[in-house]
Amino acid sequence: MSGPFPFARQMMAVDEMVSGAPAWDGLEQAFFSAKVADNFDPGADMKQVLYHFYQTAEGRRIIDWIADLTVRAPYPHIGSTNETAALAAKAHEARAAVGYAIGRAIADGEELYKQSKGATT
């Protein structure tokens, strides 16, 4: 990936983003300052779709790119005041929360898929 900020892929593998994503309650906390829907859980069907998409080469590339833009994105330049540092921290936290929400959905989708396979065998 090119641009002013080199994204370090070794900082966090997508597998770590998926397995280390906070629970839905924690993710909802990151969005409290914005006016958004109350329910961040995409539902069982979407979770399984995301999990299966992530299992494809193309899907993994797209999720990896989303991780570069969200959870692996560098911390923004903060300037010299406490206010700019607080705004930068909040922006970084909100951006990362999007990536973690996707990661949490993939992890939940994997569990749902394993449960459904266990129920049918």
At 33 the pLDDT is 62
Specify the higher pLDDT residue, 2 or 94: 94
Q: What is the mean pLDDT of the segment spanning 83-97?
A: 87
Q: At what angle do helices 44-54 and 57-69 cross, to 10 degrees?
A: 100
**Rg of the Cα trace of the chain?**
16
At 4 the pLDDT is 41
At 13 the pLDDT is 62
Q: Domain residue spans in the chain?
A: 10-120
At 119 the pLDDT is 75
Could you tell me if 81 and 19 are in contact, meaning their C-beta atoms sit under 8 angstroms apart? no
Q: Mean pLDDT across the chain, nearest whole number?
A: 81
Specify the higher pLDDT residue, 22 or 62: 62
Across 1-121, where does the E strand assignment appear?
A: none
Sign of CA dihedral 49, 112, 34, 11: negative
Tell me the pLDDT band of 9, cut-offs 50, 70 and 90.
Answer: very low
